[in-house]
Structure 1
Amino acid sequence: MTALVKLAPGALAVGHPLPWTVYDLNGVLLVRRGYVVQSERQLERLYERGRFYAKALVEEEVPVLAEVPKLVRANPFAEYVTLLQDLENAIDAVMARSEQAGQYLTDLVERLDQLCVSEPDACLALVHNGSREPTAYEQTLFHAIICRIVAARLELDSDRIALLMLAALTANIALIRHLDKLNSSNKGLTSPQREIIHKHPLLSAAAVEQAGLTDPVLLQIIRQHHERVDGGGYPAGLGAADILVEARVLALAERYTAMTSPRGYRKRYRADHAMAEILETTLREPTPRTSHALVKELTTFPPGVTVRLGNGEIALITHRPVAGEAPVAQAIISSSGNPYIGSFFRDCDEHRIEGIVVPDRFPELNLSDLWGYR
């Protein structure tokens, strides 16, 4: 097995993407290749703890840092509207059985995959910041983002990840026209509504297949994404051994997105409450690793949530912990409750996070600025 090599001084720099995936001395993943180092403190921690596999230099042909030009970072916030429009166009193409449906979806998956790999924290922030009043198309995009990030933790191969993301974008096609109305309703479901909900995995799979996307694993993920390991799911009532891991990941992504979004009959869950409930309800499952992967990837304070700091300020989490650090946050509301003009970086080792909060007034924010995109 190739040995882990200690990071050499000068190999990394603040504001540059990591040229290699970085591990600790025991081979535990710290941060993936492409992550942009946020601060000098993060840089120091990576030098203290960081190791990489020397074979990466040969296999990835990564030049030394001095020869790497300053990269223009992909900006998920700037691309958000385009992603949603591309999603709507792709779904329309599927419903129309267009010959271009497969290409539309494949192109969207490839772009979304690139964003999730290079800017995972910003993509997670899209999920949490957008969960205040998401449309059906936004929720669908959130499903795909969460699936991509959890799939990396589960170490699924690239082909299976692509199929999972395709399934996330198409699994609710049979419901997409009705979801906004269903989500905003404070009344019980009618019999016809229950019937279409129960059948939508089969109807969606059929629509996808009729549009020319015939991969059997893709169709199986779609058909199974509401099955449950205890046999109580639908439409087939499958047991744990018969449900693909990808279908379980998609089910979790949908459940988490639904819980953290408002409904006509309830307020939305806080992210930590949603994760706690998911863990509690999957505790007795024979294979709870998918829910554990979700919680580990999102972390205690996911990007995009707001937290109260020890100094009384409310801050927005922008980055998950790296190399043993606390999360990165930007203060957006003062201790007296007044929104700041702009934001202020806060070291969460110095300013302890007391917990997630939902402010009464949420200020208008330029998320691109908060994440340092230029």
Structure 2
Amino acid sequence: MSDLIRIAPGALTIGRPLPWDVFDADGNVLLRQGYVIQTNTQLEQLFERGRFQPRKIERPKEEVFEDLRPRNPFADYADLLTALEATLKAITSADPSAQKRLLGLSRMLEKTCQASPDASLALVHLYSIGPTIHEQILFYAILCHFTARQFGLDDKRISVLTSAALTANLALVPVADQLNASNRVLTDDQRAVIRKHPERSIQALTSAGITHKLLLKIIAQHHEQGDGSGYPGGLSGTDILPEAEILALSERYVAMITKRAYRNRMNISEARKLIATLGDGKFRPAIPRSLLQVLGDYPPGMLVRLDNNEVGVVTGRPVRARGPFVKAIFGPRGNRYNGTFERDTSLLEYNIRGPEEPEEMPSMDFSMLWGFRA
């Protein structure tokens, strides 16, 4: 495998699942995507020996920046993040390719969600403990896609919303990771940056030739609130687009379940309960309801304990009278299974007893769990 690239220091973090498979210099697999690095020694060994294989995206002759391969959200995760970063840089530098990059990335993400909905939702929960700003943006777009479809928006409006979710926080990218890592009270300057980011994101988009009216309006309104307490315009009620509310709710949910230096993360069950209360004044009631219907009681990627005392990861939402579906990874006595066992939790012995929400995800082979690798 001659196209392997050495892993750069800073690309991996202790306690977070690997974003891709790791190989040695001869192309042998050292660790599968989803393995969680436990120690500094392991981290140093990977920087010393580890390689990864970037997946080459072929550009059609008309230069539409779109990847047409079959969709595996886990294998594509690193590519989606790389494409997002390149797209945002193209916008901020007013590169002529910016609009085509954004359209291609939006289509790529939508096709991924449509082809593998449960696995796409699982990304949000498997990587939610300490995501970077680019990961958070990707999660916003995934949640917007599913929530908007559940809410009843048509395909064209969903596509525009997806593009808005990918770009609404463009002005925050340079400072977001620093803000999330700080446990100090925000300064007046930092608060000003946050409050002005919708306007500054719109300025960057228009400078890059991206002037779609609905796209810009969604971004302008995505921090307005139904009771008039939002910004920048203090809009209320139906003056706010449903797309803007869907984006705002997606951002809020991701903020709830992610860890910040200044607060602990909320577990998924608590976050769902809080989302259920937001239809009273802040949002149209149907929008929080749509997100909760998308997530289900136990969203894909969440760890749960079964009545037989096994621990597994939710891989599929309920289908008619069956599910949610769980792959058991730990036995009743806490032993790690050599492989996985699918459990239909509608069966009495495999009923879900409750969530298991550790501060650190156990190592898992995501592609295998969701059936993408034999």
* TM-score normalised to structure 1 length: 0.79
Paired residues of 2:325 and 2:345 also in contact (CA < 8 A):
yes
Question: 2:248, 2:333 → 1: CA distance?
Answer: 41
Give the partner amino acid of 2:184. K
Question: Which of 132, 137, 152 matches 1:140?
Answer: 137
What corresponds to 1:313 in structure 2? 310
* 1:1-374 matched pairs, under 5 angstroms: 74-284=71-281, 287-350=284-347, 351-359=350-358, 362-374=361-373
Question: 1:133, 1:360 → 2: CA distance?
Answer: 10
Question: 1:371, 1:139 → 2: CA distance?
Answer: 22
Question: 2:150, 2:361 → 1: CA distance?
Answer: 32
How far apart are 1:234 and its partner, in Å? 0.8
Q: Which digits, 9 at most, give the CA deviation of each residue in 1:211-249, with x for residues without a partner?
A: 111011110000100100000001111111210000000
Paired residues of 1:229 and 1:243 also in contact (CA < 8 A):
yes
How far apart are 1:191 and its partner, in Å? 0.7
What corresponds to 1:5 in structure 2? none
Question: 2:207, 2:300 → 1: CA distance?
Answer: 38
Give the partner amino acid of 1:115. T
How far apart are 1:292 and its partner, in Å? 0.4
Paired residues of 2:322 and 2:344 also in contact (CA < 8 A):
no
TM superposition outliers: structure 1 runs of 4+ over 2 Å: 281-287, 334-342, 359-363
Matched residue of 1:222: which SS?
helix
Matched residue of 2:179: which SS?
helix
Give the partner amino acid of 2:80. L
How far apart are 1:187 and its partner, in Å? 1.1
**Cα-Cα RMSD:** 1.4
How far apart are 1:73 and its partner, in Å? 5.5
Q: How many residues align?
A: 303
Paired residues of 1:307 and 1:356 also in contact (CA < 8 A):
yes
Q: Which digits, 9 at most, give the CA deviation of each residue in 1:87-112, with x for residues without a partner?
A: 00000000001110000010000011
Question: 1:88, 1:287 → 2: CA distance?
Answer: 32
Q: 1:111 to 1:286 in 2, by over 3 A?
A: closer
Paired residues of 1:73 and 1:373 also in contact (CA < 8 A):
no
How far apart are 1:286 and its partner, in Å? 7.1
How far apart are 1:361 and its partner, in Å? 5.8
Give the partner amino acid of 2:357. V
Q: 1:342 to 1:133 in 2, by over 3 A?
A: farther
What corresponds to 1:59 in structure 2? none
Give the partner amino acid of 1:171. A
The runs of 5 or more residues in structure 2 that have no matched partner are: 1-68
How far apart are 1:159 and its partner, in Å? 1.3
Matched residue of 1:331: which SS?
strand
The runs of 5 or more residues in structure 1 that have no matched partner are: 1-71
How far apart are 1:284 and its partner, in Å? 4.4
Matched residue of 1:175: which SS?
helix
How far apart are 1:283 and its partner, in Å? 3.0
